[in-house]
Structure formats: C-alpha cells, structure tokens
Chain A
C-alpha cells in the first residue's frame, strides 16, 4: 500500500506546489498583494465619478430651489440632497408644461415603433432566412446596402416627401382626401417601423435554428406562417429582446425628426418638449426636474434589464 501511496502523495504535493506557484504568478501579474489590488480600483473609481457626477448633480438639483443650486455649486453640497429639499420644481414643471401629454405621446410613439417593428422585421427576417423564393438575394442585398444610410442624410428629403403624402382628414364628419403628413402621430411612427438592422439581426438569428424543425412541421401540414408564429418566434426570445432594446432607445430619444415634422404642441414627444425651457433666463431647477422626469423611466428600465441591454449592444457590434 505504501508503495501505492507514495506517488499519489507526491502528486498531491506537486499539485499544491503548482497551485501556490500559480497564485504567486497571478499575484505578480495583477500587482503584488492586496495593496496593489486596491490600487487597481483607483482608475475605475475615478472614471465612475466622472460618469456619475453630472447625473447626480441633475437629480439633486431638481430637488432644490434655484438660489440654493447656485450657492451650493462651490461646495460638495452640489451633489448632496441637503438644505431646502422639495418636489416644488416638479410641481412647477407640471403646472407650466404639458409634461403628461408629452410623456403619453412619447410612450405611444415608442411602443408602436418597437411593437410593430418586432412583427414587421421578424416576418421579413423569417422569409429572408428560411424560405426559398426568387428575389430573396436581391432583397437581402438591398437591406444590407441600406444599413450604411444614416438617418441624417435622408431627413431633409423625407420631410419634403411626407409633406406630399396623401392622408385622410375629417371635415364635418366626412372623410376627405388631403395631402401632407406633418403634425400627426403617424408621421412620427411609420418611417421607423421597418429597420434594416433589425431585419438583418432577425435573419442572422433565424438561420441558426435547424431547418429540420420546419420540415417536420411541413409534413404535419403547418403553413409557413404557422411555423413562424408557433416555432420560430417562441425559439427566438433573445433576438426579439435585442431588437426591442436597440429600437427602444432611439425611439424614445427622437429629436431631429419630431423637431421638423411636429409643430403642434399636443403631438410633441418629450425630447422636443425641452425647447419649452430655452429662454433667456431658464429656471434651472425646473429644467433639471424636467430632464429627470424624462430620463428616469429609461434609467429604471436599464437598471432592471441591464444584462439584456449590455448584451444587445454587444451583439450590435457583430455587424460589419
């Protein structure tokens, strides 16, 4: 037995020695000991302060009267909710600006862009990845080619174009033809439903699902739409989450487009509502309250789903 044990014992001892050596090497690589390791946090903490201080300042200032915001600026109190803290600025914003209306408009436009976009783009991705039809290659090429067109390039001609599109208006209860999409909800929604990048992501994702699933369902007599609806969609949760997140942020943050196509106050989204405060002497406490109101919903969603947010951003880097 002892002869059997000896090599085993040596092995164990050797493994321990190896592990110690590895630990020492790791420590050497990461910077020799706990003191050094703490030092490794310094740049991370400095950067964290750099990214957080403006937002903390915004949230804290939104709770203070203007005079106190200005007097606190020269001290660390600028970042602390101390002194005359109240929700007075928020009340003031709701009194002076149709915030609720702006929020409803933004929620409506965002939900419809994201929701309809998921349906329209995933159906297109299904047809492009799993069905054989003439014209498939051409459509795929056009979709990929349009990926590089930044919205800013087409914004001006698009305003001109939508101002000529037919629309239905009601005059004395009768539907009438008219021209011009400006000042409406649909002008804020329709241009952003179909999205080349979303189609591209769905196409990529769907083509990783084994085609044998389709064949089995076909033999059972399922239509292609049923296969899409009952097999592919339930299997593609991550792709839908990614597209939802990637289309949600720009939809909520829209600025350039509604600035140009919506003059009517009751149709404007939250970002354009910021213009209310562009005066000679803005009441900064109220401005900070307003920017906090329109930022917090997104911030809360991000913190709740941060893993999904980060992984969808990471997957957007796969393009190229």
Chain B
C-alpha cells in the first residue's frame, strides 16, 4: 500500500513511552487508532439517528402527555393521560379509525400474502419467459402509491374504467358502484388497489424463500410418490416458515400505516368510513396543530406495531 496513511489519526505515531517491542507497539497503536477511527466513522450516522429518530421517538412519548401545539406562544403543559382518555371516550373518529385500520389489515394481510405466494409459485417454475412475468408483476411496486391512488380514483368513478370492465366481463349483469363515495364499498376499493400495488414486493420475498429449498427434497418426495399438493404441503410449506413470518409482519405493519391512499382518494370519507390511525394522527396532530393529541395517536399506533414485532420474535424464537 503506497497510500498516504494516518488521515484519521495523525497523532498515532510511534510513542517512546509506549510498549517496547515493535509488535506490541503496532498492536497498541492499531487499537488506539481503531478506536478513534471508529468513533469518527459512526459519528455522522449516530448523530443523525439521534436527531431524527431517537429524539422524535422520545418526543412521541413525552408530547403524548401534554397539550403541545405545533405553533403556540405557550409552552406545552403536562396533562397526564387526558389525550388517551379523549381518544377512547370522546373521539368517535379515533375509534372509527382504529376499527378501519384493523379491518384493512385483517383483509389485506391474508389476501396479499396468499396471492403473493401463488404468484411466486407460478413464476418459480422452469418455463419459458418466466422472468418477463416476474418483471410485469413487479412494475406496480416501483410505481408510487400516490400515483396509483390518483389513477385508481379515476378508474373507480361511476362512469369509469372499473365499472366498464365489470359490465363487459359480466355481460351487462353487474352495474358496478360509485366505489369511493359509498360507505359500503370505499374501504374495499382501497383494499383492492393497495394489494394491487404491493403484492409484487412480497412475491419476490416468497420467491427468494422458495429458492432456498433444495431441489433434492422435491426429488426425494417425488420418488416416494408424492403428488404436487403433497410436495407443497410436506416440502415447500415447512421450508417457508421463516419467510412466512417475515412476510406476515411486514405486510401487517405496512397495512397498519395506511395513509397516502386515504389522503389522496377519500380524505377519510364518506362519513369516516375510510379514516385510519395515521390519517387521523395527521389530521389532529398536523392539520389541527394539536401535536400532543396527534402524538398520543401515533404512540397508540406504535404500541400496536411493537406488540406485532414481539409476536414475531416469539414465533421465530430458537426452538432448541
């Protein structure tokens, strides 16, 4: 190496008062320089994480118990658990958002993970141009959810493309609905486009799980006379256990964070039938500037995510 050295620690020159043998000296120097270099190299990331992740998390806890406002001449005042009491007892929109968020997650999680698995199995076969199909299924993932929401809002109109297709496919028997303006269909319509956008991502995760299963296991199963379904049940499925837990958790957390679709398409309506936890937190904490109350809602959201992450740890714990 002919590169200039000691850019990080110019003082780490041989020190006469240090250990005498050259090897010891080098090791000591190495350790000291290693320390200094290490602190220098983690400092930027650590500082940024502290400023924009750790402090905000602590603030979420702290502000939840205050009446802080985004712009206010008065400093925040401690109000105990008032914000949480208000959420559960005198804010029907919050309760509604909690229910909607859970409904959304309860439908999206099983549907999206199952569809993603079916797609992964389809494109894991050794047939021609299978890569092309993988690419096509993945295209919505690289499309922004904001763009997807705008596009589907247009397609969901009363005289829009979705109703036209439904009519054509059903031979005129299905008349369709005013999807986003009907309290019975709005959330379902948003569920459909959310799955459409994100399912390709989880197909790829399933696919990488499928490809870790050794081909010999399938050969052995076939030799034992296992049919396709038995091979799936006894070889594929057990081999996908950790992939499954990962997928369930990521889809759940992603589903619980539902925001952009709502903000673009329905603004929580009609009649709060599509309002969600994060949307409500933004409404209260930002648009109405009630930072304290918005933080409390965010904290409730965080606790739910935390519980799910702990369940994941429990499910993937070492068995032996």
* Interface, chain A (partner B; CB < 8 A): 25, 29-30, 37, 40-41, 43-44, 47-48, 50-52, 54-55, 57-58, 70, 73-74, 78, 120-121, 123-124, 126-128, 131-134, 136, 139, 142-143, 146, 148-150, 152-161, 163, 190-194, 196, 199, 217-226, 228, 230, 249, 252-253, 255-256, 259-260, 271, 274, 277, 284, 287-288, 291, 294-295, 298-299, 302-303, 306, 309-310, 313-317, 319-320
Contact = CB atoms under 8 A, between A and B. Distances in A.
14 contacts: A47-B133, A54-B196, A55-B143, A74-B168, A133-B34, A150-B257, A150-B302, A153-B305, A157-B63, A160-B295, A222-B5, A255-B260, A256-B260, A302-B139
A302 to B, nearest CB: 4
B1 A221 contact: yes
A159 B264 contact: no
Given A55-B143, A222-B5, A123 B42 contact: yes
A309 B291 contact: no
B248 to A, nearest CB: 11
A247 to B, nearest CB: 13
Contact of A302 (B37, B142, B209, B291): B142
Contacts of A310: 134-135, 138, 204
Contacts of B319: none
B139 A299 contact: yes
B211 to A, nearest CB: 9
A140 to B, nearest CB: 10
A230 B123 CA distance: 40
Given A153-B298, A287-B150, A160 B291 contact: yes
B59 A161 contact: yes
Top 10 A-B residue pairs of the complex, sorted by shortest distance between their CB atoms: A194-B48, A224-B37, A124-B45, A156-B285, A157-B59, A154-B56, A220-B1, A314-B208, A191-B52, A317-B205
Contacts of B85: none
B73 interface: no
B60 A121 contact: no
Contact of B8 (A48, A150, A225): A225
A50 to B, nearest CB: 7
Nearest to A231: B1
Contacts of B251: none
Contacts of A298: 142-144
A228 B42 CA distance: 13
A146 to B, nearest CB: 6
A260 B285 CA distance: 10
A78 B162 CA distance: 12
B154 A158 contact: no
Contacts of B102: none
A248 to B, nearest CB: 10
Contacts of A253: 144-146
A93 to B, nearest CB: 13
A313 to B, nearest CB: 5
A288 to B, nearest CB: 7
A133 B204 contact: no
Contacts of A74: 164, 167-168
B133 A149 contact: no
B53 interface: yes
B114 interface: no
B54 A146 contact: yes
B291 A157 contact: yes
A260 B56 contact: no
Contacts of A73: 159-161, 164
Given A139-B42, A225-B8, A148 B305 contact: yes
B204 A295 contact: no
B306 interface: yes
A179 B24 CA distance: 52
A314 B143 contact: no
B38 A317 contact: no
B18 interface: no
B122 A194 contact: no
A124 B39 CA distance: 9
A290 B9 CA distance: 52
A319 B138 CA distance: 20
